[in-house]
């Protein structure tokens, strides 16, 4: 089935590397103009340049997504340039893993701000033109950790679970305007983050996955692309796990 994208503009946060970069590339492959956002000017710039080199439409924007004022300024600039953002993919995230009794307040605050508050900032600031046009796609990248929990990740699990609750509430708020809000929750995916795990940890993780392998970033990205398309217009408020069966 071919998917339909009609002159769409997308913002993808955390697009400098990993899953976010592949999401940006897959959307660009569909003809979407992609705004690659990351904290690092170098990484989002490289992502946008790679898309352009392959014939796609992209631009880079360095933004600290945990900074409300920075997101306001970036959103205003993007709306002035494009009129509206059709597709918002909140993917930016960090980890600061440690057991709760050892967790500093800064470790909690940084993860909640970057992973959860950023969704609120971007959605709030890009939503109004979607409501006027009566079309929009908001896709939040959570994690199976937000569904299942994980020792040493109380901050990350709380943020990722919060994204699911936020998305369900938003889906109900904007459904009358034909805007959909959905969640994609990856499991163990082959990224820089998982490659840093030692071999014993990786093998132990695979034993807990019914499909006995880590997923590919492209497998997450394809789900996002579908949810961003015209064809997904009757799907909202849902969480889709891409996890090899971990959370079933």
Catalytic residues: 156
Helix (H) or strand (E) holding 141: strand 136-141
DSSP line for 15-37? TTSHHHHHHHHHHHHTT-EEEEE
Helix (H, G, I), strand (E, B) or coil at 125: helix
Cβ count within 10 A of residue 31:
14
Q: Is 83 exposed, middle or buried (0-12, 13-18, 19+ CB in 10 A)?
A: exposed
Assigned token pair, 110: 């940084």
Cβ count within 10 A of residue 87:
27
- Which of 88, 155, 154 has its CA nearest to residue 126? 88
- Which of 60, 63, 28 has its CA nearest to residue 44? 60
d(CA 148, CA 109) in angstroms, rounded, equals 21
């Amino acid at each position: 089935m071919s998917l339909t994208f009609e002159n769409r503009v997308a913002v993808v946060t955390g697009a400098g590397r990993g899953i976010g970069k592949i999401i940006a590339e897959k959307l660009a492959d569909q003809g979407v103009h992609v705004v690659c956002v990351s904290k690092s000017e170098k990484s989002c710039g490289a992502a946008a340049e790679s898309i352009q080199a392959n014939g796609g439409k992209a631009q880079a924007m360095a933004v600290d997504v945990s900074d409300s004022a920075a997101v306001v300024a970036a959103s205003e600039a993007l709306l002035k340039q494009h009129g509206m953002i059709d597709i918002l993919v909140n993917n930016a995230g960090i980890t600061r893993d440690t057991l709760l009794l050892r967790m500093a307040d800064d470790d909690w605050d940084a993860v909640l701000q970057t992973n959860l508050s950023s969704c609120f900032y971007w959605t709030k600031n890009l939503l109004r033109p979607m409501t006027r046009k009566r079309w929009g796609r908001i896709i939040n990248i959570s994690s199976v950790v937000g569904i299942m929990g994980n020792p040493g990740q109380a901050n990350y699990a709380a943020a990722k679970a919060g994204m699911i609750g936020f998305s369900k509430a938003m889906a109900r708020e904007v459904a009358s305007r034909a805007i959909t809000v959905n969640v994609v929750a990856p499991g163990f995916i082959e990224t820089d983050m998982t490659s840093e795990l030692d071999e014993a940890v990786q093998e132990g993780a695979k034993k807990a996955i019914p499909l006995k392998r880590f997923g590919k970033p492209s497998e997450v990205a394809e789900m996002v692309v579908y949810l961003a398309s015209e064809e997904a217009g009757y799907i909202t408020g849902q969480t889709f796990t891409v996890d090899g069966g971990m959370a079933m």
